[in-house]
Chains A and B, each alone.
Chain A
Amino acid sequence: MIEITSVDPGDIESSLNHLWEKNKGKNRFRACLFNLIVFSSSQKRIPYLSNLAEHIIEKFPSRVILIKESEHETEKIKSSIANLQEQEGTSSIFCDYIEFEVGKNSHKAIPFMVLPHLVADHPIYLLWDDDPLLKDPVSFALENTANRTIFDSNVTSNLEAFAQTLLQLKNDVNCSVADLNWARIEPFRNLLTNIFSDQTHFRIINSARELHIYYFKDPQNEGSLYRALYLQAFLASMMGFTYTSTLKSDKQTHIHYTNQGKDLSVCLIESNQKDDNPGYLHKIELISYENVHLKIERMQNNMKVVEVQTTFSTHCQLPSHHIFDPDLNDRTLSREIYSKGTDPYFQKTLELLAQQKGL
């Protein structure tokens, strides 16, 4: 449990120093590898983001500056400080934690609050939990300063525009970009990469006729659809498929490609199946022109386990099983945040998504 102390904004550094002085001799090491700035205008998301920050500092002790938005319109800025323990109760590594609460629509104050408290000469990672499409000059100011900006497309309303915005940001200010949803599909990406690195399966995807991705709808946002979109765009960009069109209906999104003159139809299907795991991608089906059927599906009785089965016209391969450990999820998210540089596969995926109208 973090003990947070309210302080005046002008006393933040001295209060932090005082906190360290107070705990001198108690086997505490003050560590910082980079500055992690986290912003969210949604109070509901703060516990999730705080938890994420704590996972990050387990691997990379950093000064965490969390900025949240008050529900009220006020010019008054509240600030607090704390020491975060790398692993609660066990580690001797501690990091500085600074929290700001700014009034609703007082975003302009944020860079002024943050800039004085960046640890000099350390990388700056910005986790901006707002929709980048609703940009204001403030986020620009911080993005210009940040070495890396991480978004979460769960909060956006338009993935195509989101992709364009991220690409523009990367090009304009030379800041590496990332999306937590990209990290969330890492287990599937890794699995697909492993599968298709095999020549037999590579031939299957190279002659793909249909690709179906099934997902459980997340009631709070379009995140699960976006993850499905990412996954298909990942495969398409890896294979060099040429995008032709998009068509959306009630619970399905159809995206069409061509590959070496042949059509490929991708269908993202919102599953009706009731489930305790909203937001999951639960099945991928690939059918080739040679009628080979590849199925990748989470087991209904144990969603951590994914079964892969390939059925040829003349025979079936025995299914293989893979574990998608949910505990890995936070670690992959953390890794996405502290990784250096824009993942080239992510960039290629974004470039493809940026062309796909009507997402």
Chain B
Amino acid sequence: MQKPEHTENQMDNINTNTQTNPFKNANAQGSPDPCIMVIFGASGDLTKKKILPAIYNLKRNAQLPTNFACVGFARRSISDDDFRAQVTDHVNQYSRIKPKDQAEINHFTETCFYHQSEFEDDNGYKSLDLALKEIDKKHGTQGNRIFYLSVQPVFFDKIIARLKKNGLIYDESNEEQRFSRVVIEKPFGHSFDSANDLQHSLVQHLAENQIYRIDHYLGKETVQNLLVFRFSNTIFEGLWNNRYIDHVQITVAEDIGIETRGAFYEEEGLFRDIIQNHLMQLVSLVGMEPPSSLAPNAIRDEKVKLLNAIEPMKESDFENMAIRGQYAEGLINGQKTKAYRQEDKVDPKSNQNTFSAMKFYIENWRWAGVPFYVRAGKRLPKRTTQIAVTFKKVPHILFNEHNEDDTPNTIVFRIQPDEGTSIKFNSKVPGQARIIQPVNMDFQYTTYFGKEIPEAYERLLYDAILGDSTLFARADESLTSWKLFTPLLNYWDSKPITDENLYMSGTWGTKKAEELMKKDGRQWNIL
């Protein structure tokens, strides 16, 4: 093997005792440190459908550290081999890229292990510590730990306290320079008070930069592209304000119902599941000011600033500016579907919401007077997430055949599916008559880049391993969002769902949601 050629100067600088390792930054994507990822809730749906397939794909793409291991932690008593067999099944079923052969999947599962314990059993954590140290020795993972809590929030504190107590979570600055990080899934609390309590309990054991709050929307390529679109293209930023924009509307629609999450939905409802977190992340990315750098806190500071500028709703506004709904029977894909109240583990008289729509304003120089309309729902006609920025109409209509206004320009970000961006503008139809027709200039990810888009969890897990928290929610982001909406949620919790709140599955929500925009002379985009 030939030695690499170096100049004299380079040879002087390559000193293994210096803090700068030239190999560290040689990879444009970053070089992750060896580590073990322990997944609490290893038998849960999220683990099998998202987390394990994501780790597999990172491995496939050589994005995992060379020295990496994955440990599943759950209550059931199974062996390492049983767990590996399960991992194989999950990857075969849910991975966006399927393994070509058994050897390929074996390379992955050979570093997967299983640890059985109850979440509240101290002995389980002691034995976990021993097991992880054994893996460190054999696989060179150097004591670095990532604990992924794919469990119900009620277990967060219990697990983290025991991890800390048993030396599995280190102090932020420890002599050995090992890291330990905890990844938690939303919901981060149920209300402002509970989110605050959760935060207090977390910071007793962890520093803020050891906490990685996953909002998987932030891992989507299309969501990350919002910042690139806004801040790397001169032509748009100059128009991105209240002088030119008429309104912004955001829709997060699913055609599926609550499926097996009846118990969860009875507790949380759609607003807590989607709007308080995912949707508000989209709002903050659309509305924020340019950050001074791409450092995690520079971006997150701007997002929090935006959230703080949202005008809180007064109780007198609740009925007019916030709508809730619950799906009734209907028809989706030609199949009859049942009502929410007929789903498993749902109270037949449930007052939970499966649909919400809202209007609010952002009180700052950029956005004053521009309404933001947001809606999300289950059992809507199709699965789609879309942001539409609609511009104001021209000040003087020249081409007004039949006294119709020109169609306003719109920039649409298709978050999922059919990921891409389109710009709608008016064009003359060839011919004698002056007919104006709106047309779309369209960019599609798959057409242009010609390859599969990575799953959100792949990006997020990779960043957690790298230690980059940019795409994770910070405590104050979550708390600010809770502060805004807790009064509304309390108001809804105190009022029963009436017939007016019901909507047929397969339709776009309640009539009141339609009127929310209609009374402003606007309408929801057809999706």
Q: Interface 1/0s, chain A 77-88, versus B by CB < 8 A?
A: 101000000000
Contacts of A79 in B (CB 8 A): 334
A111, A122, A339, A340: residue with the most chain B Cβ atoms closer than 10 Å: A340
Please tell me which stretch of A113-121, A184-192, A282-290, A317-325 contacts chain B, meaning at least 4 of its Cβ atoms lie within 8 angstroms of it: A113-121
Contacts of A116 in B (CB 8 A): 255, 332-333, 381-382, 506
Are B527 and A112 in contact, CB atoms less than 8 angstroms apart? Answer: no
Minimal beta-carbon separation of A199 from chain B (angstroms): 25
**In the bound complex, what is the Cα–Cα distance between A339 and B433 (angstroms)?**
11
**In the bound complex, what is the Cα–Cα distance between A116 and B330 (angstroms)?**
13
Of the candidates B335, B404, B439, B507, the one whose C-beta lies within 8 Å of that of A10 is B335
Contacts of A340 in B (CB 8 A): 401-402, 404, 435-437
Chain A residues 106 to 132 lying within 8 A of chain B, measured CB to CB, are: 109, 111-113, 115-116, 118, 120-124
Of the candidates A35, A121, A341, the one whose C-beta lies within 8 Å of that of B424 is A121
Which A residue's beta carbon lies closest to that of B384?
Answer: A120
Of the candidates A8, A33, A121, A341, the one whose C-beta lies within 8 Å of that of B404 is A341
Which B residue's beta carbon lies closest to that of A144?
Answer: B514
Are A342 and B402 in contact, CB atoms less than 8 angstroms apart? Answer: yes
Given known A-B contacts A116-B255, A340-B435, A341-B401, A122 and B331 have beta carbons under 8 A apart: no
Contacts of A123 in B (CB 8 A): 407, 438
Given known A-B contacts A10-B335, A115-B381, A115-B507, A121 and B402 have beta carbons under 8 A apart: no
Are A121 and B334 in contact, CB atoms less than 8 angstroms apart? Answer: no
Are A120 and B401 in contact, CB atoms less than 8 angstroms apart? Answer: no
**In the bound complex, what is the Cα–Cα distance between A120 and B420 (angstroms)?**
12
Minimal beta-carbon separation of A36 from chain B (angstroms): 13
Which B residue's beta carbon lies closest to that of A346?
Answer: B402
Of the candidates A8, A33, A124, A339, the one whose C-beta lies within 8 Å of that of B334 is A8
A176 proximal to B (CB < 8 A): yes
Minimal beta-carbon separation of B194 from chain A (angstroms): 37
Contacts of B410 in A (CB 8 A): 121
Contacts of B437 in A (CB 8 A): 33, 60, 338, 340
B422 proximal to A (CB < 8 A): yes
Contacts of B255 in A (CB 8 A): 116
**In the bound complex, what is the Cα–Cα distance between A120 and B417 (angstroms)?**
11
B526 proximal to A (CB < 8 A): yes
Minimal beta-carbon separation of B276 from chain A (angstroms): 25
Contacts of A10 in B (CB 8 A): 333-335
Which B residue's beta carbon lies closest to that of A10?
Answer: B333
Given known A-B contacts A8-B334, A79-B334, A120 and B435 have beta carbons under 8 A apart: no
Contacts of A9 in B (CB 8 A): 333-335
Of the candidates B332, B335, B526, the one whose C-beta lies within 8 Å of that of A118 is B526
Which A residue's beta carbon lies closest to that of B410?
Answer: A121
**In the bound complex, what is the Cα–Cα distance between A343 and B439 (angstroms)?**
22
**In the bound complex, what is the Cα–Cα distance between A65 and B440 (angstroms)?**
20
Chain B residues 350 to 406 lying within 8 A of chain A, measured CB to CB, are: 381-382, 384, 386, 388, 401-404
Are B526 and A124 in contact, CB atoms less than 8 angstroms apart? Answer: yes
Of the candidates A35, A111, A120, A343, the one whose C-beta lies within 8 Å of that of B386 is A120
**In the bound complex, what is the Cα–Cα distance between A341 and B386 (angstroms)?**
27
B525 proximal to A (CB < 8 A): yes
B414 proximal to A (CB < 8 A): yes
**In the bound complex, what is the Cα–Cα distance between A122 and B442 (angstroms)?**
12
Contacts of B149 in A (CB 8 A): none
Are B506 and A115 in contact, CB atoms less than 8 angstroms apart? Answer: yes
A219 proximal to B (CB < 8 A): no
A355 proximal to B (CB < 8 A): no
Given known A-B contacts A340-B401, A343-B402, A120 and B414 have beta carbons under 8 A apart: yes
Of the candidates A109, A141, A343, the one whose C-beta lies within 8 Å of that of B331 is A109
**In the bound complex, what is the Cα–Cα distance between A120 and B331 (angstroms)?**
20
**In the bound complex, what is the Cα–Cα distance between A102 and B466 (angstroms)?**
55
Are A112 and B381 in contact, CB atoms less than 8 angstroms apart? Answer: yes
Which B residue's beta carbon lies closest to that of A108?
Answer: B331
Q: Interface 1/0s, chain A 1-39, versus B by CB < 8 A?
A: 000000011100000000000000000000001010000
Contacts of A164 in B (CB 8 A): none
Are B331 and A121 in contact, CB atoms less than 8 angstroms apart? Answer: no
A344 proximal to B (CB < 8 A): yes
Contacts of B435 in A (CB 8 A): 339-340
Q: Interface 1/0s, chain B 434-452, versus A by CB < 8 A?
A: 0111111000000000000
Given known A-B contacts A9-B333, A77-B334, A122-B440, A344 and B386 have beta carbons under 8 A apart: no
Are B331 and A112 in contact, CB atoms less than 8 angstroms apart? Answer: yes
Given known A-B contacts A112-B381, A121-B422, A121-B525, A176 and B404 have beta carbons under 8 A apart: yes
B327 proximal to A (CB < 8 A): no
Which A residue's beta carbon lies closest to that of B437?
Answer: A33
Are A112 and B330 in contact, CB atoms less than 8 angstroms apart? Answer: yes
Contacts of B402 in A (CB 8 A): 176, 339-344
A145 proximal to B (CB < 8 A): yes
B248 proximal to A (CB < 8 A): no
B184 proximal to A (CB < 8 A): no
Minimal beta-carbon separation of B239 from chain A (angstroms): 18
Are A112 and B506 in contact, CB atoms less than 8 angstroms apart? Answer: yes
**In the bound complex, what is the Cα–Cα distance between A291 and B435 (angstroms)?**
42
Minimal beta-carbon separation of B73 from chain A (angstroms): 37
Of the candidates B332, B333, B439, B527, the one whose C-beta lies within 8 Å of that of A120 is B527
Interface residues in chain B, defined as those with a beta carbon under 8 Å from any beta carbon in chain A: 255, 330-335, 381-382, 384, 386, 388, 401-404, 407, 410, 412, 414, 422, 424, 429, 435-440, 506-508, 525-527
What are 27 A-B residue pairs whose CB atoms fall within 8 Å in the complex?
A9-B333, A9-B334, A9-B335, A79-B334, A109-B331, A109-B334, A111-B506, A111-B507, A112-B507, A115-B381, A116-B333, A116-B381, A116-B382, A120-B412, A120-B414, A120-B527, A121-B410, A121-B440, A121-B526, A122-B526, A141-B507, A176-B404, A339-B402, A341-B403, A341-B404, A344-B402, A344-B403
Q: Identify 8 new A-B residue pairs, CB closer than 8 A, beyond the known A10-B335, A340-B435.
A: A79-B334, A111-B507, A116-B506, A120-B525, A122-B440, A123-B407, A176-B402, A341-B402
Interface residues in chain A, defined as those with a beta carbon under 8 Å from any beta carbon in chain B: 8-10, 33, 35, 59-60, 77, 79, 109, 111-113, 115-116, 118, 120-124, 141, 145, 176, 338-344
